[in-house]
Structure 1
Amino acid sequence: MGTMTLAACGSDDNSASSGIDAANSDATCEGKPNLSGAGSSAQKNAMDQFVATYIAVCQQQGKTVNVAYNPTGSGDGRTQFVASQVDFAGSDSAIKDEQAEEAKNRCVGGEAWNLPLVFGPVALAFNLEGVDDLVLDADTTAKIFNGQITEWNDPAIAALNEGVSLPAERITPIVRSDSSGTTDNFQKYLETAAPESWTSGAGSDFTGGVGEGAKGSAGVAQAVAGGPNSITYVEESFAKQNDLTIAKLDNGNGPVELNETTTGKAIEEAAFVGDGGPGDLTLDLSSIYGNTSAEAYPLMLATYEIVCSAGYDADTSAAVKSFLTSAANEGQEGLAEQGYAPLPDSMREKITASVAAIA
Structure 2
Amino acid sequence: MADLSGTLNGAGASSQEAAVQAWIAGFQSQYPDVTVNYAPEGSGAGREQFTSGAVPFAGTDAALDEEEMAAAEEACGAPAVNLPLYIDPIAVPYNLPGVDNLQLGPETLAGIFNEDITNWNDPAIAEDNPEAELPDLQITPVHRSDESGTTENFVEYLAAAAPDVWTHEVSGDWPSGLTGEAGAQTPGVLQAVDAAEGTIGYTSAAAAGDRTTAAIGVGEEFVEYSAEAAAAVVENSPLAEGRAENDLALELARDTTESGNYPIVLVSYTVVCTAYSDAATGDLVKAWVGYVASDEGQQAAADAAGSAPISPDMQSQVQGIVDSIQVG
Q: TM-score, normalised by structure 2?
A: 0.86
**Cα distance in 2 between the residues matched to 1:278 and 1:323:** 21
Q: Which runs of 5+ in 1 are unaligned?
A: 1-27
Label 1:303 to 1:163 Cα distance change in 2 as closer, same or farther (>3 A).
same
Contact 1:38-1:69 within 8 A present in 2 as well: yes
Q: Look up the match of 2:30.
A: 57
Query: Is it true that 1:262 corresponds to 2:229 in the alignment?
Result: yes
Label 1:83 to 1:50 Cα distance change in 2 as closer, same or farther (>3 A).
same
Q: How does 1:126-165 map to 2 (within 5 A)?
A: 126-165=94-133
Q: Look up the match of 1:123.
A: 91
Q: How does 1:192-211 map to 2 (within 5 A)?
A: 192-207=160-175, 209-211=178-180
Label 1:315 to 1:129 Cα distance change in 2 as closer, same or farther (>3 A).
closer
Q: TM-score, normalised by structure 1?
A: 0.79
1:271 counterpart (238, 250, 259): 238
Give identity over the alignment, percent.
Answer: 38
**Cα distance in 1 between the residues matched to 2:55 and 2:181:** 38
Q: Residue 206 of structure 2 aligns to a residue in which SS?
A: helix
2:60 counterpart (67, 84, 91): 91
Q: Look up the match of 1:308.
A: 273
The offset of 1:311, in angstroms, is 4.4
Q: Residue 203 of structure 2 aligns to a residue in which SS?
A: strand
**Cα distance in 2 between the residues matched to 1:248 and 1:334:** 26
Q: Residue 81 of structure 2 aligns to a residue in which SS?
A: strand
1:47 counterpart (16, 20, 45): 20
1:335 counterpart (289, 294, 301): 301
Amino acid at match of 1:350: Q
Amino acid at match of 1:309: T
Contact 1:90-1:306 within 8 A present in 2 as well: yes
Label 1:312 to 1:40 Cα distance change in 2 as closer, same or farther (>3 A).
farther
The offset of 1:145, in angstroms, is 1.4
TM-superposition CA deviations, 1:176-232 (whole Å, max 9, x none): 344433222221211111100111333233226242334443233233223223222
Amino acid at match of 2:79: E
Q: Residue 93 of structure 2 aligns to a residue in which SS?
A: strand
Contact 2:298-2:310 within 8 A present in 1 as well: no
TM-superposition CA deviations, 1:281-336 (whole Å, max 9, x none): 11224x2x223222121112222221122344444433322221111121222424
The offset of 1:274, in angstroms, is 4.2
1:78 counterpart (31, 41, 47): 47
Q: Look up the match of 2:137.
A: 169
The offset of 1:245, in angstroms, is 0.6
Label 1:332 to 1:124 Cα distance change in 2 as closer, same or farther (>3 A).
same
**Cα distance in 2 between the residues matched to 1:128 and 1:353:** 48
2:149 counterpart (176, 181, 206): 181
Label 1:98 to 1:127 Cα distance change in 2 as closer, same or farther (>3 A).
closer
Q: How does 1:210-289 map to 2 (within 5 A)?
A: 210-240=179-209, 243-274=210-241, 279-285=246-252, 287=253, 289=254
The offset of 1:122, in angstroms, is 1.5
Q: Which runs of 5+ in 2 are unaligned?
A: none
1:344 counterpart (310, 314, 319): 310
The offset of 1:347, in angstroms, is 3.1
Label 1:281 to 1:155 Cα distance change in 2 as closer, same or farther (>3 A).
same
The offset of 1:249, in angstroms, is 0.7
The offset of 1:83, in angstroms, is 4.2
Count of matched residue positions in the alignment of Structure 1 and Structure 2: 323
Contact 1:29-1:322 within 8 A present in 2 as well: no
Contact 2:63-2:249 within 8 A present in 1 as well: yes
RMSD value, Cα: 2.7
